[in-house]
Structure 1
Amino acid sequence: MLQTALHFSHTLLKEVVEPGASVVDATMGNGNDTAFLAQLVGSKGLVYAFDIQEAALINTEKKLTELGLTEQVTLFHKGHETIEETIPTETSLTAAVFNLGYLPKSDKQIITKPDTTKKALDAILTRLKPKGRIILVVYYGHTGGEAELALVQDYSQKLPQEEYSVLTYQFVNQRNNPPILFCIEKK
């Protein structure tokens, strides 16, 4: 059976994230990816997790506490566009994950935006280790979603093939704008 974009994103992350790694959850949301990454990096690793919504921080902190994963995670009540100044420049990142769109079960007017996503991608690429991956799951079936999808497609296609490999994964026969996954891997 084919994996959903979410499950495939976890498969792609499991292949590269090892205990002790430093990684980013650029859109912590309800904390599912943050917790998943925290398990992968283990007690010696570090997850930098970002979100602009108070509810996201509360939900993520609760989940991490329940799972005993708070030690290896730093939560930032900031947008992912602040990665450049928030994460030390000398930090090498093994992976980053984005779920682009809006926080499920919350205000659908608060969405990720193309300009902030581009700024975050630029900051992560400069810190990404060889064989490191950036996973973007783009939910685009809302106002503003098409513009962000266009940004991610354009950004990915312009990356030099000598330095990066880019994969897209999507279901083309499903209704209601199924999410599209992008995986950028540094060579």
Structure 2
Amino acid sequence: MRLKPTQQADFKNFVLNLKANRPEALHEFIRTVRRCAMVGINDYRITPQDFEDIVQETVWAVYRKICQPEFHLDVPLEHYINKTLFYKKMDYRRKRAYYQTSMTHFIEEFEMHYEGRIKKTQGFSMLKEDLAETKRAAQILSEFELEILEYLIEEWTPNEIASELGIPAKRVYNAIYRLRKKLKGRLLQNKEIH
């Protein structure tokens, strides 16, 4: 049986056979959809698997349309097939564009996260180097000066430190002066070495 949509009586018989789920009509219908798809979907970006999916979705959509009571027999079957193929192809392109966009965003987010981790790691290693240098510099500090340095790192004012330790503020200021002098001398030494 060869489907010829120009002959109205053959088309009506074909639709009746298709609604009755006759195997010959179903095979002919699938062949017709595939033939129309080969002509209508000539896009090299569509993979063979996606092409098969589009054909199957078109077969199902047109078959459901044919089985509806308001199906018009005066409209050629190729019209329904081509129209459905067009929309399926547009859906495929939209999904593909959405997928590519979402993948691009995912990759960009991953890159930003990865760069952030690298910067954090580099910052951490620099911090470790600075801490090691501070420890080396701290070897030249007295125990009292180290205690004052800890308070300064925690952003205490000299008057607060003096109040906390129960010592005169002048003694704290003198310790800060010695700290600056010793650390500045150590930094200048390192600068000359590097």
| TM-score between the two structures when normalised by the length of structure 1 | 0.20
Q: Which has the higher contact order (CA 8 A, sep 6+)?
A: 1
**Is the strand fraction higher in 1 or 2?**
1
Larger Rg: 2
| TM-score between the two structures when normalised by the length of structure 2 | 0.20
